[in-house]
Structure 1
Amino acid sequence: MDTTRESSTAFDGTPHAPAAARRFVRQVLGEWRLSHLAEDAVLLTSELVTNAVVHAGTGIELTCRLDADATPPKLEIEVDDHQPERQVLGGTPPLVDPLPTSGRGLALAGMLADAWGVTYTRTAKRVWVRMEFADVPESPAACLPAPRRPIDRLQVAVVVADAEGRVVSWNSDAESLLGWTAEQVAGSPLEELVVWRGHGPYALSLAETLGLGRWRGETRMRHRDGRSVPVYISHLRTDGPAEDRRSIWMVADSEHGFVLASPPAPLRREAGRRIKDLLDQDRPLAELLDTIARIVQLSSGGDAAYVLLRADGCNRFGVAAGAGATAGLVGVLSSCAFNLQCETPVLVDDLLAVDVELAQRLEARSLACAPLMVAGEVVGHLAVTAAQPGRFEQDLTVSLLHIADQVAATVQRERLAEQERAHRGRLSFLAEAGELLAGVHDEELLAALAAQLVVPKIATWAAVYLTDLTGMTRLARVWHSEEEHNAELRRSLPAIPRSPLSEVTWPVGEETVLSFPLRTQGRSHGALVIGRSEPTLPLELADLLADLCRLVALNVHTAMLYARQATTSRVLQRSLLPMRAAPMPGLESAVIYRPGEEGADVGGDFYDLFTVADHWCFALGDVCGSGPEAAAVTGLARHAVRLLAKENYTVADILDRLNQRLLEEGDEGRFLSLLCGELTPLPQGGALCTIASAGHVPPLLLRAGGKVEVVATPQLLLGIEADARFFVETFELAPEEVLLCVTDGVTERRDGKRFLDDDDGLARLLSECAGLSADAVAERVRRAVDSFAARPSTDDVAVLVLRAMPARLISP
């Protein structure tokens, strides 16, 4: 004898729901003669419904289920909401500390119920409690439902009502069950014949129930003799225009209600109706697929059901949605049951005998599947699995094919639309990533940006390994969605892998770990390693990450080449300038050098200061132009001046020979201005200066009395005329006097139309430097250049200051 009873209702997620739920449970338990359980059951129901209203805020479904055949008998109460992403708070309450302000519903469940649990699906969360009542004060017979009458006395009344809820048909079983004849009830409102259980304004009223497509449940109907007869009703509403719709009620007495209740294995026709209702609604693709999977799983009675869709550009099928115990654990499948040639349903009694790997990945032995066909092409599959072999019959494949035929076109249409949206989103994401990474020449910064691009949108954490141009691999950057775990994550990952990244066994934790290579131009530059809480990675995300990694690899490769080139350039450029100025007894020197090009160490300006036998030589030059070509002339000029001077050539001869050398290079338009001189110390202090200026800014001499003089006549630039001849001029640099040599980056410092050297501005500046050291004079000039205009200077700047020291300060 089946003594299982079930009664369900629904509520809006409003503050009134707990009160309505309490009334419903108390009424149901009274009908089931379980009033002695009412107090605990009502308290548990109130707490669980309140928890759902507060934390979910969605519609709520409440089900009471009595299993009288169990040993001991048990009562289960289930509360379903529609926000599965919200975690349920609760657990066993502490023994001493007071209960927390949240999660008290499940704390009470732990104290009052014999068992409780939470079941998650993709669209709902179910919280249930179980109460056993073997030891009750009343006799067990009084607590259980009354014995059902023999099946030969079964009566199924059929009542048909019109769109306004008035009776239009009443069969003979209805007359036998309720005593009213068809003539007596014709045209009567159903509400006069039904004792509705008072679901209240916050659940389903009778009018709302009549508007549903399908409903089952217990209630009471009025007998002609005045009695209230407990009945079980299976309600179905017909389709069509609103005025032509009919409500069909199949009614049995409560003892025979099991014949109208949902069977253990749901009916195939019910799935068909659900699919039809589903296709009539406009849903996002993910929700559509999830709902199809749930309908297939419930209607088939399988352990799990899947919707598989064909991956782009290949013959593999990936899991797009799943429902049941093992849903979402399989990723991409390649099997004889899932391929482009499989255009008919497939039934496998034992997967272990056909495909061991697939059986292990599905955690199943039985498999039934049907193809999703659109325009004669297989675009996916519907599949149902079970852990036991031989679970399914052939008629299940017919039902699956029927469902597949109904949903295939809709799924393909929505999928194409979703792919178009995803493609636009993918292009947008890659464009933003490319813009973010473009122009970044620092490998560490690129690694940090790559990790933060995928966390937390795609992964819980990410790590970037970089392989340098020598083949050395290192852990460059880690990033966790919870930053306090960054240090722990770095410790858990190998800092320097001892094997190729494709062969590394990553630490296994709660997350699924996936590795994507950073490859470009056939070379590996490392890997992006991610950890995800989801067990599988959708195909679209896998393709997106592959594209992102190619973009990151390209920028890392460029950054590595840039770094190597920059290092080489700095080494070469530094060789163009003297490492340090030569010390000169009796003279004090200071140099300011600043290339105008950002990131460069050497520009078109150069200087040198060195000793030759018993005198000193200095040079200050400016090459026409900038960049590597100008730097090449800079190196040629500086080394040529130094070499010729050490060979005891005079200043004039040095200019003559350097002029010829530049002309021999044949680089038209590459001119050079050069100020070159010799300093010979004098016994009384100071030095005799021999100087020549080949088109260079004239040097200035600050006399001891504060007067400023120009001490060299500008001559022709070097590299213009082969017959040019250069002459020298001589003057005495007395103690306390200062010789200032600059390039045009100083004199031509611009602020609008005004130059720093307008109206002898540099001479006036030098006249204010009497009594200052060489370093102080150079610093005064630098500050004048920087402060002359708001914008920074973009020209090369070179300043050479020579100051003769007083005789008493000259070391013997």
Structure 2
Amino acid sequence: MDTTKVSSTAFDGSPHAPAHARKFVRQVLAEWRLSHLAEDAVLLTSELVTNAVVHAGTGVELTCRLDVDACPARLEIEVDDQHPGRTISGTPPPATDEDGQPATSGRGLALAQLLADAWGVTYTRTAKRVWVRLEIGEQQEIPAGTVAAPVVAPLETLHVGVVVCDLDGVVESWNTEASQLLGWAPEQVVGRSLKELVAWRGAGPYALSLADTLGLGRWRGETRMRHRDGRLVPVYVSHLRIRGHAGERRTIWMIVPGDHRHVLTPPPQPLRREAGRRIKDLIDHDMPLADLLTTIAQIVQVSSAGDASYVLLAADTDGQFGVAAGAGDTAGMVGVLAKGVFCAERKAPALIDDLLAADVELAEQLRARSLACAPLLVSGEVIGYLVVTAARPARFDQELTVSLQHIADQVAVPVQRERLAERDRAHRGRLSFLAEAGELLAGVHDEELIAALTAQLVVPKIATWAAVYLTDLAGMTRLAHVWHSEESRNSALRKSLPALPRTTLHEVAWPIGPETVLAFPLLTQGRSHGALVIGRKEPTLPLELADLLADLCRLVALNLHTAMLYARQATTSRVLQRSLLPMRVAPMPGLESAVVYEPAEEGADVGGDFYDLFTVADHWCFALGDVCGSGPEAAAVTGLARHAVRLLAKEHYTVADIFDRLNQALLDEGDEGRFLSLLCGELTPLPQGGALCTIASAGHPPPLLLRPSGEVQAMATPQLLLGIESGARFYVERFELAPEEVLLCVTDGVTERRDGDRLLDDGDGLAALLSGCTGLSAHAVAERVRHAVETFAAEPAQDDMALLVIKASGALRPVR
């Protein structure tokens, strides 16, 4: 009875044909109770139909055939197109292209080589038929009563030959089982090249020569070996390359008859079917780039049983590739990898048994010895690599590279499509993030605040936690700030990190935890300002994020450099400015004094106004001046004027002589338009109490005298400003400062405090304010005037302010 089942349908050559074909195959296999084959069968059908539609461009006929009488039972899927003269992309390609590079075409049916037990192409006059065969083993579900157990060769014919060769393939050892299998006695083959005994014939797009195979760490496959009687015996070989105690390399071949191949073949790998299903999901569904790359890395790692797998993508720098995703023990990989194994010119898969011998730098980066990789090719351009690694050498065989290349061919286009879209989104997001960071850090001149803002910029957007280390001018590095996404863990995080690293930051052994720890230097103009250290739950850092963090670190380093320069300049300026003011006010027994000094320029200690109060012989001297303008230029004249007044007074020049000499000094400076108003006086103690005040005013607001009765009187006549006329002569005026009387001296920053069109001193406003200060101490009077100036208008003052208050409190003791 014929138990063969057949189901057939046809589709036009539209882009929708693969989807319709997949649906048809699923329905047929469900009816035949072969759902366990559906994933592989659907994936193979999609490949065959797509191949026919793309390359033949005609309508296709799809046939599913189940032959339960075959041994073993098998499912065949056939795809016929109407273009017999055009070959398919699965035919064996030439080994090299016109430029002598490894050929990259002919990989369209690599999936059939990977998943199907057999496949082929049949040509007729009117059509071309591509077919694949899936064998149904006895361990799999098939329709009841339709298949017999497979026939196994007699155990008496099983011989496991063991052949040992040296590095050049010369036979060194030949066991008795090999003799029974092939008829050669050990003495007949020892010393001969294995090439003389093997009829090697490579097949497939990545076929290796016998010499290449002998150089592999591991390999399994079929070949034919010469029997002593001249016939060729089909055998199955398991190849292993080992290193002896003395370091010499040896090759071991375990050989069994072809019909006993199941003895050496690995057990069926359901992981391959899982890989096929996951690849189909990637092809059928649009996924975000991060999910797509992570899934690909998982497929590669699971299907290859490697320790780690990576998806590399081309970096912006020419010819370099960076880690975009990883799975397994990826060791926190970040950034670009060493150029060598991975380069834009390598367009064929590669297998390296011992990476440490081939590329030490890459081996250290990946922490691996074995490596297999396959390029992601789009329009002949290498856009990345699929990579699998293992810590032990010689872990992989050539079959793995075929599987990797198949996966790479299937996912290259979706990866490129999503990457271009993601790159556009990431570019916009990157610019937005850096603009936000730049705006946040702009104008911040405090290193501690910059460190705090930097940590909070990356948490939780990029990292679970972040720490910022700062390096000072002496080269000392310290932990400045930490920030965790869970604020309650900040204290524990700070304790777990080294506060003062004893080694350079890239050599620090960071605490082991659930997060991967990565450090990024803060470098600018060849100087290190510290490092940004982050902890992430993800084992790898995508290249885009690595580039973003590198840009952020450059921005932070630049702001730290600016803050350092600002701090240095501010310190220098502060020291110089403080030298322009008296370090302390001279004590005046029997007199109270109070000073208020506020420069208008933000951050300045000294402006165009100045004051001084000091002793000379048996009397006191005081001065209050105002240089035209403000800022550093005015401060320079301030220093000249204050030191000149003090120096001349110490040399016992009178107040009038001081004005004459200072006027000439300003004219000698030759700074046009830089004038000075100055109020200068001497206080000489009187026996009955109080003091005799000798005073002169050069264009300065006159001092006000407050009597105990509340009466206020101006006590000096304004004269010509200093620095205007060379022949100007100045005179002094005298009055008595009686006990309980207050003398108020101010600059025009007080009298000309403006609120719209109104000034504080309009209508003798300052005198009225002072008249209400009877009975107050000198400090209380100064504070009341300062408060009145500050609150006179809502806007801050635009001019420097200085005021000096002197109050006679009783009989003065002579100055000694």
In structure 1, what is the equivalent of residue 641 of structure 2?
637
| Counterpart contact for 1:266–1:299, Cα < 8 Å | no
Rounded to whole Å, the distance in 2 between the matches of 1:610 and 1:392 is 91
Matched, 1:484 2:488: yes
| Counterpart contact for 1:265–1:301, Cα < 8 Å | no
Where 2:687 maps in the other structure, the secondary structure is coil
Match of 1:646 among 644, 650, 655: 650
Query: Structure 1 808/295 Cα, relative in aligned 2: closer, same or farther at 3 Å?
Result: closer
| Counterpart contact for 1:232–1:260, Cα < 8 Å | no
Rounded to whole Å, the distance in 2 between the matches of 1:600 and 1:363 is 56
Gaps spanning 5+ residues in structure 2: where?
12-19, 54-58, 74-135, 144-266
In structure 2, what is the equivalent of residue 656 of structure 1?
660
In structure 2, what is the equivalent of residue 577 of structure 1?
581
Rounded to whole Å, the distance in 2 between the matches of 1:274 and 1:772 is 89
Match of 2:317 among 313, 317, 330: 313
Rounded to whole Å, the distance in 2 between the matches of 1:585 and 1:795 is 33
Rounded to whole Å, the distance in 1 between the matches of 2:645 and 2:764 is 30
In structure 1, what is the equivalent of residue 733 of structure 2?
729
| Counterpart contact for 2:323–2:543, Cα < 8 Å | no
In structure 1, what is the equivalent of residue 5 of structure 2?
157
Cα distance per residue 1:89-109 (max 9 Å; x no partner): xxxxxxxxxxxxxxxxxxxxx
In structure 2, what is the equivalent of residue 552 of structure 1?
556
Rounded to whole Å, the distance in 1 between the matches of 2:768 and 2:512 is 75
Residues paired across the two proteins, number? 604
Rounded to whole Å, the distance in 2 between the matches of 1:278 and 1:649 is 96
In structure 1, what is the equivalent of residue 140 of structure 2?
258
In structure 2, what is the equivalent of residue 194 of structure 1?
none
Q: CA deviation at 1:425?
A: 1.7
TM-score by length of 2: 0.66
| Counterpart contact for 2:685–2:812, Cα < 8 Å | no
Cα distance per residue 1:674-700 (max 9 Å; x no partner): 011112222222222211110000111
Match of 1:797 among 780, 801, 807: 801
In structure 1, what is the equivalent of residue 462 of structure 2?
458
Rounded to whole Å, the distance in 2 between the matches of 1:770 and 1:549 is 62
In structure 2, what is the equivalent of residue 412 of structure 1?
416
Rounded to whole Å, the distance in 2 between the matches of 1:297 and 1:214 is 28
The code of the aligned residue for 2:733 comes to E
| Counterpart contact for 1:345–1:371, Cα < 8 Å | yes
Q: Superposed, which structure 2 residues align to 1:172-571 within 5 Å?
A: 211=23, 214=26, 258=140, 264-265=268-269, 275=279, 278-279=282-283, 281-294=285-298, 306-322=310-326, 325-326=328-329, 333-334=337-338, 337-347=341-351, 368-383=372-387, 397-398=401-402, 400-571=404-575
Q: CA deviation at 1:485?
A: 2.5
The code of the aligned residue for 1:513 comes to V
The code of the aligned residue for 2:431 comes to L
Rounded to whole Å, the distance in 1 between the matches of 2:709 and 2:393 is 112
Query: Structure 1 389/503 Cα, relative in aligned 2: closer, same or farther at 3 Å?
Result: closer
Rounded to whole Å, the distance in 2 between the matches of 1:807 and 1:391 is 103
In structure 1, what is the equivalent of residue 745 of structure 2?
741
| Counterpart contact for 1:231–1:257, Cα < 8 Å | no
Rounded to whole Å, the distance in 2 between the matches of 1:352 and 1:753 is 83
Q: CA deviation at 1:571?
A: 2.0
The code of the aligned residue for 2:549 comes to L
| Counterpart contact for 1:443–1:559, Cα < 8 Å | yes
Q: CA deviation at 1:605?
A: 1.0
In structure 1, what is the equivalent of residue 788 of structure 2?
784
| Counterpart contact for 1:748–1:756, Cα < 8 Å | yes
Q: CA deviation at 1:313?
A: 0.5
Query: Structure 1 711/255 Cα, relative in aligned 2: closer, same or farther at 3 Å?
Result: closer
Where 1:785 maps in the other structure, the secondary structure is helix
| Counterpart contact for 2:26–2:35, Cα < 8 Å | no
Where 1:555 maps in the other structure, the secondary structure is helix
| Counterpart contact for 2:468–2:480, Cα < 8 Å | yes
The code of the aligned residue for 1:157 comes to K
| Counterpart contact for 2:607–2:634, Cα < 8 Å | yes
| Counterpart contact for 1:329–1:362, Cα < 8 Å | no
Matched, 1:609 2:457: no
Q: CA deviation at 1:288?
A: 2.9
Where 2:722 maps in the other structure, the secondary structure is coil
Gaps spanning 5+ residues in structure 1: where?
1-152, 164-207, 222-229
Where 1:465 maps in the other structure, the secondary structure is strand
| Counterpart contact for 2:520–2:550, Cα < 8 Å | yes
The code of the aligned residue for 1:425 comes to G
Where 1:584 maps in the other structure, the secondary structure is coil
The code of the aligned residue for 1:494 comes to P
Rounded to whole Å, the distance in 1 between the matches of 2:664 and 2:61 is 108
Q: Superposed, which structure 2 residues align to 1:80-159 within 5 Å?
A: 155=3, 157-159=5-7
Q: CA deviation at 1:731?
A: 1.8
The more displaced of 541-550 and 694-703 is 541-550
Rounded to whole Å, the distance in 1 between the matches of 2:309 and 2:2 is 37
The code of the aligned residue for 1:492 comes to S
| Counterpart contact for 1:463–1:528, Cα < 8 Å | yes
Rounded to whole Å, the distance in 1 between the matches of 2:469 and 2:593 is 50
Match of 2:627 among 619, 623, 629: 623
The code of the aligned residue for 2:678 comes to L
Q: CA deviation at 1:294?
A: 5.0
| Counterpart contact for 1:691–1:730, Cα < 8 Å | yes
Q: CA deviation at 1:280?
A: 5.0
Query: Structure 1 659/407 Cα, relative in aligned 2: closer, same or farther at 3 Å?
Result: same
Q: CA deviation at 1:393?
A: 6.4
| Counterpart contact for 1:663–1:720, Cα < 8 Å | yes
Rounded to whole Å, the distance in 1 between the matches of 2:26 and 2:323 is 31
Match of 1:597 among 598, 601, 604: 601
In structure 2, what is the equivalent of residue 67 of structure 1?
none
Rounded to whole Å, the distance in 1 between the matches of 2:431 and 2:392 is 45
The code of the aligned residue for 1:671 comes to F
The code of the aligned residue for 2:620 comes to W
Where 1:508 maps in the other structure, the secondary structure is coil
| Counterpart contact for 2:687–2:812, Cα < 8 Å | no
Rounded to whole Å, the distance in 1 between the matches of 2:710 and 2:397 is 113
Rounded to whole Å, the distance in 2 between the matches of 1:628 and 1:322 is 59
Which structure is richer in relative contact order (CA contacts within 8 A, separation 6 or more)? 2
Q: CA deviation at 1:666?
A: 0.8
| Counterpart contact for 1:305–1:385, Cα < 8 Å | yes
| Counterpart contact for 1:311–1:318, Cα < 8 Å | yes
Cα distance per residue 1:325-382 (max 9 Å; x no partner): 5467665544764333322233456767766886787787775533222343322223
Where 1:571 maps in the other structure, the secondary structure is helix
| Counterpart contact for 1:586–1:810, Cα < 8 Å | no
| Counterpart contact for 1:322–1:328, Cα < 8 Å | no
Query: Structure 1 575/255 Cα, relative in aligned 2: closer, same or farther at 3 Å?
Result: closer
| Counterpart contact for 1:367–1:386, Cα < 8 Å | yes
TM-score by length of 1: 0.66
Rounded to whole Å, the distance in 2 between the matches of 1:745 and 1:638 is 18
| Counterpart contact for 2:376–2:384, Cα < 8 Å | yes
| Counterpart contact for 2:323–2:541, Cα < 8 Å | no
Cα distance per residue 1:149-179 (max 9 Å; x no partner): xxxx99453345899xxxxxxxxxxxxxxxx
Q: CA deviation at 1:508?
A: 3.4
